[in-house]
Amino acid sequence: MRRAFQLPEEDLEFLEALGRPWETVKDGDAHWLVVQNWPVPPGYNHSSAWAGLILPASYPDSQIDMVYFYPQLALTSGKGINNLTPRQFDGKEWQQWSRHRTGENPWRPDLDNIATHFHLVDHWLLRELPKVAA
């Protein structure tokens, strides 16, 4: 696994605890973190995917934004997922999920990190699923 740049200790601990392969990759000025086999909830065309984050140069003081998946995800219901864009990286076509923090959920440099961002990613994945009738 590639380790092109160093991460803060708390991020290393989180990633190692996942028990999944991960790597850090420089692509021009972009610093990518890629976690393989990220679990995707039922209702998607894949049960897991590679999940990529682009870490800003000033991370952890600046927020992580969005998530990228490979292979591309689709809902098995056939419903479309809004705000998706293809993105080339590392010889693959990734799917950019344009999802952002809000004023109600801002980045907190002293608290937020890769782990809290991946919790947000899991929320985004669940939010796209059709609601189950009670």
Give 72-104 pLDDT, tens digit per residue: 999 999 999 999 999 999 999 999 999 999 899
pLDDT score of 132 = 52
Cα distances from 70 to residues 8, 30, 40, 102, 106, in angstroms, run 25, 17, 12, 25, 27
At 56, the amino acid letter reads P
For 61-78, write each residue's pLDDT tens digit: 999 999 999 999 999 999
**By three-state DSSP, how is residue 114 classified?**
helix
CA distance 51 to 18: 13
Put simply, whether the predicted model's pTM sits higher than 0.75 gets the answer yes
